[in-house]
């Protein structure tokens, strides 16, 4: 089953949990957009508090504990036996983090609305301004459903396999760093901005296109691959794009914000 779903297919689903994961690094809070209009039946999922632990040395968006994630998902109505569809505004950056985290904690049926709310609206489908009240779910969080990397494993993968840097190219080169205290990239990592995974309207490129794109970056069958970004959000989008292309990949959840927390770790530029 593809990890993506079209607006038309979502509109035809019956028993499904829909999570609105709209989020912007610089704000405003995504819940404000949710209140202005969302897919009927959707509940708002806060990326900062529902999909991550508080920031610290582990990164700006470290993994939540199984207990806190389970509590959050049950509060949002998520059950293990019911499919889940996640969406954001358009390009699936935030939605991919929800997809990845649910998969990591063992949910078997999670899909991303390709093109997000923008695609839903273009299809002429309705929105609601009602705050949805959903019965609690029964989801049980069991970690380990997706491969992860720590800092040492990411450094090794950059040498022995392919480690993709999902940030904008200028951040990879170290020309600018708007968020973290140090600019640059993990030595040996390959620049692979997530913006190149999607079409101008926000939908993912076809699997064949993505497969060719990743091939040119050194991703081929039998070679281990992983991804990182600033804090493990856009890198989840890279892992999703790799899945669409047919490549399994590990996520360095702590990403650059964790890497630079230790001044002894090397930094490359250019």
pLDDT tens, residue by residue, 214-244? 999 999 999 999 999 999 999 999 999 999 9
What is the set of active-site residues?
Answer: 229
Task: Report helix, strand or coil for 101.
Answer: helix
> What is the pLDDT at residue 1?
80
* Same domain for 153 and 90: no
Contact 228, 255 (CB under 8 A): yes
Can you tell me which residue has the tokens 């990403």?
255
* Same domain for 68 and 173: no
Instruction: Report yes or no on 140 lying in a domain.
Output: no
138-184 confidence digits (pLDDT tens): 999 999 999 999 999 999 999 999 999 999 999 999 999 999 999 99
* Same domain for 108 and 9: yes
Closest residue by Cα to residue 40 from 24, 20, 25, 63: 20
The CATH number of residue 201's host domain is 3.40.250.10
pTM score of the predicted model? 0.97
Instruction: Report yes or no on 210 lying in a domain.
Output: yes
Instruction: Report yes or no on 77 lying in a domain.
Output: yes
71-106 confidence digits (pLDDT tens): 999 999 999 999 999 999 999 999 999 999 999 999
Closest residue by Cα to residue 158 from 135, 134, 132, 189: 189
Which domain does 13 fall in, by range?
Answer: 4-122
> What is the pLDDT at residue 225?
98
């Amino acid at each position: 089953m593809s990890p993506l779903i079209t607006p038309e297919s979502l509109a035809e689903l019956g028993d499904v949990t829909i999570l609105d994961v709209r989020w912007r690094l610089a704000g405003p809070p995504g819940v404000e957009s949710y209140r202005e209009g969302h897919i009927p039946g959707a509940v708002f999922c806060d990326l900062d508090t529902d999909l991550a632990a508080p920031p610290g040395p582990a990164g700006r968006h470290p993994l939540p504990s199984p207990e806190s994630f389970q509590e959050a998902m049950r509060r949002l109505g998520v059950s293990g036996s019911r499919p889940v569809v996640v969406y954001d505004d358009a390009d699936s950056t935030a939605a991919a983090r929800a997809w990845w985290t649910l998969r990591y904690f063992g949910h078997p049926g999670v899909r991303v609305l390709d093109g997000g709310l923008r695609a839903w609206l273009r299809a002429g489908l309705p929105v609601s301004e009602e705050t949805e009240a959903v019965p609690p779910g029964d989801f049980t969080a069991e970690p380990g459903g997706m491969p992860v990397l720590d800092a040492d494993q990411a450094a090794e993968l950059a040498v022995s396999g392919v480690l993709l840097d999902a940030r904008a190219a200028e951040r990879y080169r170290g020309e600018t760093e708007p968020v973290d205290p140090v600019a640059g990239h993990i030595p040996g990592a390959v620049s692979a901005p997530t913006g190149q995974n999607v079409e101008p309207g926000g939908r993912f490129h076809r699997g064949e296109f993505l497969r060719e794109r990743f091939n040119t970056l050194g991703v081929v069958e039998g070679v281990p691959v992983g991804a990182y970004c600033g804090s493990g959000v856009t890198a989840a989008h890279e892992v999703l794009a790799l899945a669409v292309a047919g490549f399994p990949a590990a996520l360095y959840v702590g990403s650059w914000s964790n890497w630079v927390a230790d001044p002894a770790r090397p930094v490359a530029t250019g």
